[in-house]
């Protein structure tokens, strides 16, 4: 049943994406890329690499290894963290940053890079940050954070 829904959703998205002859608006591009990102994350959570390889550019080095590593990290944290996603706008790419965080800090992050002008863009680059690297970043931020001085005491009391 889920495969039928996924196939139907893919057909609908493809129909509307390929059927248009006009320039795409930024909103349309982002929405289509957000759908692709959601499909990728759901497949990674389900340990289903084969179903999402079609969404990745063939020139990405060692994509299978990166996806397997992502599955492993997601498996560790998916039950104890919350998934959030945000779009980071870069000059040449939309970066969909998916982050698994607990109440203290981020535990796993996967960045999916899409071309800005193409709603049907394949993922052209993927970057992952493991718990260890995110912990180092967090500790560095905390160590570099200066505590501001206390406010001056009022003079009347």
- Cα–Cα distance for residue pair 68/73, rounded to 1 Å: 9
**Domain assignment present for 64:** yes
- 3 pLDDT exceeds 80? no
Positive or negative torsion for Cα 19, 12, 68, 94? positive
Q: Is residue 22 part of a domain?
A: yes
| Enclosing domain of residue 87 | 2-143
At 80-116, the pLDDT tens digits run 999 999 999 888 899 999 999 999 999 999 999 999 9
Buried b (16+ CB within 10 A) or exposed e, 93-106: bbebbbbbbeeebb
For the chain, percent of residues with pLDDT exceeding 70: 80
The answer to whether residue 29 is domain-embedded is yes
Cα–Cα distances in angstroms (integers) from residue 49 to residues 7, 68, 93, 101, 129, in the given order: 16, 8, 23, 23, 19
The Cα 106–Cα 4 span in angstroms is 34
Answer for the pair 46, 52: CB distance below 8 angstroms, yes or no. no
Total structural domains within the chain: 1
Tracing tokens 């997601």 back to the chain, one arrives at 74
**Would residue 154 count as lying in a domain?**
no
Residue 80 falls inside a structural domain: yes
Confidence band for 21, pLDDT divided at 50, 70 and 90: very low
Is 88 within a domain? yes
**CATH number of the domain residue 95 falls in:** 3.10.450
Residue 151 is assigned to a structural domain of this protein: no
* Predicted model pTM: 0.75
Which of 10-14, 76-80, 108-112 is modeled with the greatest confidence? 108-112
Give domain status of residue 9, yes or no.
yes
For the segment 44-67, what is each residue's pLDDT rounded down to a tens digit?
999 999 999 999 999 999 999 999
């Amino acid at each position: 049943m889920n495969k039928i829904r996924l196939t139907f959703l893919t057909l609908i998205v493809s129909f509307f994406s390929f059927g248009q002859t006009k320039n795409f608006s930024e909103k349309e591009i982002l929405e289509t890329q957000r759908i692709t990102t959601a499909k990728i994350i759901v497949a990674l959570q389900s340990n289903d690499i084969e179903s999402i390889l079609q969404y990745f550019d063939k020139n990405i080095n060692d994509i299978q290894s990166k996806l397997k590593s992502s599955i492993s990290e997601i498996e560790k944290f998916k039950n104890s963290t919350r998934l959030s996603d945000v779009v980071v706008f870069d000059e040449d790419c939309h970066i969909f940053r998916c982050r698994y965080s607990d109440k203290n800090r981020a535990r796993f992050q996967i960045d999916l890079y899409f071309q800005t002008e193409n709603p049907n863009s394949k993922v052209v680059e993927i970057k992952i940050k493991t718990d260890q690297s995110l912990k180092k970043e967090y500790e560095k931020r905390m160590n570099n954070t200066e505590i501001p001085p206390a406010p001056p005491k009022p003079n009347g009391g």
